[in-house]
Amino acid sequence: MTTIETAILLSGVLLILVLIGVRVAFATALIGILGMFLFYTIDKGMDPMRAITVTLKLSGQIPHSKTASHVLGLIPVFVLIGYLAYFAGLTTAIFEAAKRWLGWLPGGMGVATVFATAGFAAVSGASVATSAVFARIAIPEMLRVGYDKRFAAGVVAAGGTLASLIPPSAILVIYAIITESSVGKLLLAGFLPGAVSAVIYAVMIIGMAKRNPKLGPPVTGFTWAQRFAALPPAAPIFFVVAIIMYCIYGGWGTPTEAGALGAFVVLLMALYKGTRWKDLSGALIESAKLTTMIFTMIWGVLIFVRYLGFADLPNTFAAFISGLHQPAILTLLIILGAYVILGMFMDAIGMLILTLPVTFPAVIALNGGVDVTREASALGMSGEECAIWFGIIVVKMAELCLITPPIGLNCFVVAGVRPDISAQDVFRGASPFFIADLATVAVLIAFPGIVLWLPSLL
């Protein structure tokens, strides 16, 4: 059996392990260690005991060497900002403002929830946290005015996915680390696609409510004075976003330093609001838990990625993809279709860090390579542009798995916060948003300028 055949076989074993429930972090680390051992013993002819020693040393060094980078510090601070913003009352304020300004529309409370989650996503890098927060805030309000409970729960579950795309986004940072792309440009690239996704959600909600008014009746009765009075309490969210973005793109500091500054500002807001120590410690503990989970997954995958590099599987797959005699866009759609299927069985972060070591080089090769001109590339982009554009596309595809059964983490979170609404009802309520997400991906593929315009200004 050749090196490539062994790598393909072990990759298949890894996929089976993940599908039967083995944690991604442990499955990838195990297969990576096994693969490196086989590589050294079979391909390099090394003594088995010596091979074990070398493999274990590499397996210990890889996570430290790769994750000692300050870029990974973005993940805990982005997650912490979201939790602190909740305890500072910023989520309630932005939802109240959105409700007063948009509630009069058909399904207006649902539309308000989508734009409120988009606003909260601008200070929170975690989709799960966003869904959990708005399940507590928005669902009771929607049920109180007569919304269908499935519809209300589906809106919150789908709205939470916007945190994956709108910066600061932890999953975009993970993509940047794995693909060695520009963190700053990726974060900036997420703004317009996130806004487009929110608008498509809103249009769909309005259309559904017009067709069936019982899903979401409009809410009226707010005066203009009440609407304008709701804006100042929600303004701090945009102030924090402005601080983070100006710090990054104004040259004041690195993205990590900007995130830390944003977390400090939100902490001051939370203290000013009189947040109790119990809540603050809870925010720190929850941030630490989520960060530890993400870091552990990255460590395991980096070991597996090192083995793939030894076996040269990414380059082999990239050469195979670029050698296909069919339009580049068709091959890209096949890759994205595979993400749809994988998303039904894996969580978003696990799916990306497991597949990107293979799919990213393939898409870059499909485009014509890293150092191609715009005219020479198959997808009409330079290598860096393709990396940024594919990052936004693939993160949007990863959002699908947050609302699709049987994994659908956002749906389970909403059901966990609201025991009166079953997970099945949440999945049914979120199912129309699957179509909306596919429509968003289609728009971003057809008009890549939506993704690339803001990064091009740097």
Report pLDDT digits (tens) over 364-415. 887 765 444 444 455 667 778 888 999 999 999 888 878 887 677 788 889 8
Report pLDDT digits (tens) over 164-183. 888 878 788 888 888 888 88
Mean per-residue pLDDT for 265-275? 85
- Could you identify the residue written with the tokens 């794995």? 178
Mean per-residue pLDDT for 109-121? 92
Asked if the model's pLDDT at residue 133 lies above 60, the reply is yes
pLDDT number for residue 140? 92
The model's pTM is 0.83
